[in-house]
Amino acid sequence: MGLRKFVDKIKPTFSEGGKLGFLHSTFEGFETFLYVPNTVTKKGAHIRDCNDIKRVMIVVVLALVPAMLFGMYNVGRLAGIEGVLPAFWYGFLEALPNIVVSYVVGLSIEFAFAQKRKHEINEGFLVTGLLIPLVMPIGVPCWIVALSTAFAVIIGKEVFGGTGMNVFNPALLARAFAFFAYTPQMSGEAVWYADGKTGATALEQLATTNQMEWSAMDAFWGFIPGSLGETSTAAILLGAALLLFTGVASWRIMLSVFVGGLAFGYLFDAVGMTDYPAYYHLLVGGFAFGAVFMATDPVTSAQTNCGKWIYGFMVGALAVLIRVVNPAYPEGMMLSILFMNALAPLIDYFVVERNIARRKKLIKNVK
Amino acid sequence: MSKNIKLCKGLDIKLAGKAEKVVESAPMAKSYAVSPLDYENVTPKLLVKVGDQVEVGTALFFDKNNPRILFTSPVSGVVSAINRGEKRKLLNVAVEPDQKQQMKELKVVNPATAERSEIVEMLLASGLWTRIVERPFGVIANPDAQPKAIFVSAFDSAPLAPDYNFVLASEKAEVEAGMQLLARLTDGKVHLSARKGDEGFMAEVKGVEYHTFSGKHPVGNVGVQIHHIDRIAKGDIVWTVNIQDVAIMGRLVLSGKLDMSKTVAVAGSEAKKPAYKRIISGAAVESIVGKVEAGVRIISGDVLTGTTTAADGYIAAGANMLTLIPEGDKYELLGWAMPRFHRFSVSRAYFSWLCPKKEYKLDTNLNGGERPFVVTGLYEKYLPMDVYVSYLLKACLVKDLDKMENLGLYEVLPEDLALCEFVDPSKIEMQQILRDGINLMIKES
């Protein structure tokens, strides 16, 4: 195969000691992207499942596609473009810079760190890089995307040791950073539409007036303003179906987030703190998107099965709690997931302690 | 009779090349070898030199940590080579067999009437003691220890594993004698576990606590069975013996002779004729599978836990099968993005769930690069034990002895984590990490 020959030919240049040896990790990253490496098992099991982290991550990216495509169309539609394709094209051009900026900035940092640590390049950012533009308002300036991506990757991930070691979900951290550092550009009424149009999101309307100008069906299908990827619950559920079917995301977490949100939604509705049905919470804002794509991040969520139930329920419940009790900040999903990210190890700690206690009990039974 | 224990977790990997149920006698090999590397934590001290005449049962070396533990020759003949590796580490002692197959005189006692110490001495002298595995840690049993119980699994659930009901069909008396011998070694029970619905004569074996199990691999792993019969707590010692070794022990008692022959399965997609072979323990691989082309990996044992064996090497002492599979040292263009119908995955991100009955021809490619722990909840699906795999492994990685103990280090051996290692998309060397953790624990305690 010609391509393989070419890769083999330039490989020595990029290997240790070669002229471009300092780009070792970058080359390896591209090589393993092109070819599954020829490494064979040395110790332990001689055969291995053909699933790897690249495949896991690419499934998540695929799951994000429906929400992204719909988001692009929705941007054009809200800007007043007639027709599906022209509206989509308009939205595509609006969203493209953010996506490109997020990938370029994030991957550059990842590559640099991998190079420095002489690690292989991890695939985690394939997902994070797409999540970041999807949770940002469409009108947010590119430099904010770049800055928050850099913050999320460096402070959120690399300082902890890279993929698999981070405490907080990097994409959410990027959004939190942008939100708190550049509040005027990130919230308010101006940023959810492209091209200078303004208007409040459904979430803000619910928080301030207890009703919204869209029907629940509109909110479900996604014909409402909001961040690029989060408006259409239907498109998100499509992605959720893929994640659950392939087993990439935990159904325990996903289900319990929705249960937690609904439970607290009903509670607040019952005591009269809100005046709209509980399921509205699941349809508007980032709830569904967070539940499906953010809360289920295996690295930052609870790791034990029992812990996942608790973690998920708390994420959903807290999100609704923040939405209802704190009208100054209508979107609770981001903060509740970040908060539970911090608590997840504690939840797991107690679950594992119970396992240890069961084991210690065995000793007593004998004596 | 106790009730059947059904395990829901696990996985049967269907591989091509299952051994056909015919037994051929392998020709006498050019040489036979005994290797200290087939055992954990053995520091060998040689008792013979090249050119020495040995008989069946002559000790070739012993374990410096416990000089009573002898490793004996499976055949009679001449010591032809003492192979050493780096830093003069002993790899194996090879014996070239003669025609007579002279047995060493052994004091064989009747297990029913003899003292326990006499039985122990008989097993030690014959070298069969090395076939008793002690848990925790999976090392050769300490002859001075008193095990809480002894466990024997009558079936192997690993991919392509030999069917012991077939292998031992004509050796019921030997298995029974072996079991009675084991019963004298413990004040507790001897547990025998068979696969429900495929029990052979195991249900009729007397003097044992009989259990049946059903479920997927690793249901045949004795460690998993122990977990469900009588869990190992801190301070417990239990012993386990492979069922075919039980038969060899029984043979010694019944015939008074040490006969190290056994039936092994030759299986795998690259085996020219997958079938059973009657061999003597430690035989040169060539005598069992003939010439093997380059690009084929020969594994002493099953594909999940066996050891790679060179074409001019010897079958490992504990192995009851040889598996031959293709090496996977090839590049695959954009493999991670392809449908890959020919490869197997437990994940529905690939398509093997569409054809659950297909027998796969899997190679040794790692199918990806090693990554940190990312996925969660996956490993526990393939270990039917109350053990948090990733927490235990992380404790091993950071060498935290207390955590290792608390999280279940005494209950698992690397073989029990083999399936987790197989399914892991991060390609972490779990068996090695656990083994290192166990060895550290042995050193520190």
Question: How does pLDDT run across A169-222, given as a tens digit for each residue?
Answer: 999 999 889 888 887 777 655 555 544 445 566 777 776 677 777 777 787 888
Select from B306, B418, B323, B392 the least CA-distant residue to B362. Answer: B323
Chain A to chain B Cβ contacts (< 8 Å): 218
Phi, psi angle pair for A288, to nearest 5°? -65, -45
> Helix, strand or coil for residue B15?
strand
Residue A363: inside a domain: no
> Which residues fall within 8 angstroms of residue B144, CB to CB, at 6 or more apart?
none
* Residue B414: closest C-alpha in chain A: A44
pLDDT at A188: 55
Q: Give tens-digit pLDDT for B315-357.
A: 999 999 999 999 988 787 777 777 777 788 888 878 877 777 8
Q: Give tens-digit pLDDT for B281-307.
A: 999 999 999 888 888 999 999 999 999
> Helix, strand or coil for residue B300?
strand
A163 and B374: CB-CB below 8 Å?
Answer: yes
* Contact assessment for residue A101 and residue A142, using Cβ atoms and an 8 Å cutoff: yes
- Chain A interface, best mutation among B11, B365, B412, by max A CB count within 10 A: B365
- Give the structural domain span for A213: 53-355
Nearest-angstrom CA–CA distance, B4 and B2: 7
A355 and B386: CB-CB below 8 Å?
Answer: yes
pLDDT at B59: 95
ipTM of the complex, rounded to two decimals:
0.89
Residue A47: inside a domain: no
A118 and chain B in contact, CB less than 8 A: no
Residue A284: inside a domain: yes
* Residue B351: closest C-alpha in chain A: A246
Q: Name the E strands within B26-126.
A: 32-34, 44-46, 53-54, 59-63, 66-72, 77-84, 90-97
Choose among B331, B430, B432: nearest Cβ to A4. B331
User: Which has the higher per-residue pLDDT, A131 or A221?
Assistant: A131
Do residues A26 and A90 both lie within one domain? no
pLDDT band at A55 (very low <50, low <70, confident <90, very high): confident
pLDDT at A183: 77
Do residues A20 and A124 both lie within one domain? no
Neighbours of B15 (CB within 10 A): 21
pLDDT at A367: 47
Do residues A120 and A153 both lie within one domain? yes
pLDDT band at B206 (very low <50, low <70, confident <90, very high): confident
- Chain B interface, best mutation among A46, A169, A347, by max B CB count within 10 A: A46
Neighbours of B235 (CB within 10 A): 12
Domains of chain B: 5-12+115-255 (3.40.50), 29-106 (2.40.50), 366-445 (no CATH)
Do residues A129 and A27 both lie within one domain? no
Give B187's DSSP letter. Answer: S
Highest mean pLDDT among A79-93, A246-260, A272-286: A246-260
Do residues A206 and A344 both lie within one domain? yes
Cα–Cα separations (whole angstroms), residue A173 to A95, A128, A285, B375: 20, 10, 17, 20
- Chain B interface, best mutation among A4, A47, A297, A351, by max B CB count within 10 A: A47
Residue A365: inside a domain: no
Residue A72: inside a domain: yes
Do residues A17 and A122 both lie within one domain? no
Query: What percentage of chain B has pLDDT greater than the value 70?
Result: 100
Q: Give tens-digit pLDDT for A59-101.
A: 999 999 999 999 999 888 888 888 889 989 988 998 899 999 9
pLDDT at B339: 75
Distance in Å, alpha carbon of A94 to nearest chain B alpha carbon: 28
User: Per the structure block, which two tokens stand in for B242?
Assistant: 């492979």
> Helix, strand or coil for residue A172?
helix
Highest mean pLDDT among A200-204, A307-311, B425-429: A307-311
* Contact assessment for residue A345 and residue A292, using Cβ atoms and an 8 Å cutoff: no
Distance in Å, alpha carbon of A118 to nearest chain B alpha carbon: 13
Do residues A254 and A317 both lie within one domain? yes
Distance in Å, alpha carbon of B352 to nearest chain A alpha carbon: 10
* Residue B342: closest C-alpha in chain A: A50
Do residues A164 and A61 both lie within one domain? yes
What's the total number of domains in chain A?
Answer: 2
Question: Biggest alpha carbon distance in chain B?
Answer: 68
Residue A254 sits in a domain whose CATH number is: 1.10.3430
B290 and chain A in contact, CB less than 8 A: no
Choose among A34, A359, A365: nearest Cβ to B334. A34
Extract long-range pairs of A27-31: CB within 8 Å, 24+ residues apart. Answer: A28/A120, A28/A121, A29/A111, A29/A114, A29/A120, A29/A121, A31/A7
Q: Quick check: A111 pLDDT over 90?
A: no
Do residues A8 and A127 both lie within one domain? no
> Which residues fall within 8 angstroms of residue A11, CB to CB, at 6 or more apart?
A27, A31
Q: Name the E strands within chain A.
A: 35-36
Contacts with B439 from chain A: Cβ below 8 Å? none
Residue A364: inside a domain: no
Choose among A41, A161, A363: nearest Cβ to B366. A41
pLDDT at A195: 46
Q: Which of A343-347, B229-233, B272-276, B371-375 has the lowest mean pLDDT?
A: B371-375
Instruction: Name the residue type at position B53.
Output: Q
Query: What percentage of chain A has pLDDT greater than the value 70?
Result: 90
- Round the average pLDDT of chain B to a whole number and report it: 91
A37 and chain B in contact, CB less than 8 A: yes
Q: Quick check: A118 pLDDT over 60?
A: yes
Do residues A29 and A168 both lie within one domain? no
Neighbours of A25 (CB within 10 A): 21
Do residues A24 and A93 both lie within one domain? no
Do residues A75 and A106 both lie within one domain? yes
pLDDT at A200: 61
Residue A45: inside a domain: no
Instruction: Name the residue type at position B60.
Output: L
